Structure 1
Amino acid sequence: MADSGDDAIAAAEMRAASTRARNLPLWDDLPIPNDTANLREGPDLNEACLALLPMVGVWRGEGEVDYPTIEGPRKFAQQLTIAHDGRPFLIHESRSWLLDDEGNVIRPAARETGFWRPQADDTLELLLTHNTGLVELYYGKPRNQTSWELGTDAVIRTASAKEVKAAQRLYGLIEGSLGYVEERAMMGQELQPHTSALLHRVVG
């Protein structure tokens, strides 16, 4: 039997017990609003971002990367920060690191930064810049109140970056955690699964 609404609220309160008082480091002398990843603190979330409200926070967890052009699958860990400063966009910052089979850190891995830009027609724009020399522009829409699907409209790469033709991402909340899967068409391969992860809230 599915949990009742009261059970779901109680479970959410329990999950928030250790995260509700945490936030990003604050600059006391900043003359403009600080970024916040905690909806209880800082500027109010802009109404344009309400469809993305559940994503705001800092998330940390583990995942797997696998693709025909790499020796895999490989385990990785990741921290994803989704924050805002009161304006009609969200700030996106992701850091990841490779793990061995025992869960020990091998080395830093992919990084990406960018912005979620929700539009009045419910379209989502996601601009991402990667440390590997890629710039990606995604478009998509919410699938429902707790999942979001996007695909690339354009991929730009530096002369030293690997060939990437397209990518798709699906994000969704799973019992209070944030999961995602990513597909990529790169290095002569067709669009296919590349990474997936399940991240747990640590801030917000």
Structure 2
Amino acid sequence: MAAGTEKLSEKMVHPAVKPLSDLIGTWKGEGEGFFPTISSFNYSEELQFTHSPNKPVIAYSQKTWNLKSGQPMHSESGYWRPKPDGTIEVVIAQSTGLVEVQKGTYDMKEGVVKLKSELVGNASKVKEITRVFKVENCELSYAVEMATSLTDLQPHLTASLKKQALGCHLITGDITTYTTSQAHFLTNVCVCLHFTRSMILNVNCKIKLYFCNNTRFRFPIFHLL
């Protein structure tokens, strides 16, 4: 499935969640773990952000697997509660029994969410956890740092994930013939077009452009505004 941007209709997003709506969806990719007290490791990951329109909160879940064997490794879930002033509260429960209460800030113009633990519960050694998420060029990356009773705060996890589009439609006709009503089906799906940028700008409807890269192609992804 092509990596891309899935944009929810404004009617489907609570006003408090709207600034973070680009996160909503499923992201998949790979990451790396390291720390002075353990051997380094690699993993595959699926991360999901989901949202109920009547709630000012985003549900978060994450699962990882051993990159070679495919065996499950780690999972966690929780809730993100953004505030209108650009602050955010996050609670996360890990499969290890560890619980995090985090606070931080978000700036989606820069595509960045920064979190720092206020409380790390049910953990005998872990004292502090920070998380930084960044959305850029259709990719979600994050970095996790951790401090323990034996170590100062230092890098622990990094990963890069691509959003899994709701759908991918290839338009093979003349792009200039697609009117607003004809293109209505594009509202909640990712659309991959093999056309030039100038041709896309001639579409008879308001669109927002995303230019995404992968290893073989450079192609535009857009959605209706």
- Same fold, TM-score > 0.5, yes or no: yes
Matched AA of 2:129: A
The TM-score normalised by the length of structure 1 is 0.74
Matched AA of 2:95: N
Over 3 Å counting, the alpha-carbon distance change for 1:58 and 1:132 in structure 2 is same
User: Is the contact made by 2:91 and 2:101 (CA closer than 8 Å) also made in structure 1?
Assistant: yes
Residues 1:90 and 2:90 aligned together: no
Residues 1:169 and 2:131 aligned together: yes
Q: Distance in 2 between matches of 1:110 and 1:189?
A: 22
- What are the Cα deviations for residues 61-115 of structure 1, in whole angstroms up to 9, with x where unaligned? 001000011112x11111000010111000000000122xxxx234211100000
Where 1:48 maps in the other structure, the secondary structure is: coil
Where 1:109 maps in the other structure, the secondary structure is: strand
The alpha-carbon deviation at position 202 of structure 1 amounts to: 0.9
Matched ranges for 1:112-191 at <5 A = 112-145=76-109, 146-157=111-122, 161=123, 163-191=125-153
Residues 1:109 and 2:109 aligned together: no
Q: Distance in 2 between matches of 1:106 and 1:44?
A: 35
RMSD value, Cα: 2.0
2:157 maps to 195
1:39 maps to 8
Q: Which runs of 4+ in 1 moved over 6 A?
A: none
When structure 1 is superposed on structure 2, of 185-194 and 129-138 the one drifting more is 185-194
Where 1:54 maps in the other structure, the secondary structure is: helix
Q: Distance in 1 between matches of 2:61 and 2:108?
A: 23
Q: Which runs of 5+ in 2 are unaligned?
A: 167-225
Over 3 Å counting, the alpha-carbon distance change for 1:98 and 1:186 in structure 2 is farther
The alpha-carbon deviation at position 176 of structure 1 amounts to: 0.5
How much identity, in percent, do the aligned residues show? 31
Q: Which runs of 5+ in 1 are unaligned?
A: 1-13, 21-37
User: Is the contact made by 2:86 and 2:107 (CA closer than 8 Å) also made in structure 1?
Assistant: no
Over 3 Å counting, the alpha-carbon distance change for 1:15 and 1:107 in structure 2 is closer
Q: Distance in 2 between matches of 1:69 and 1:47?
A: 43
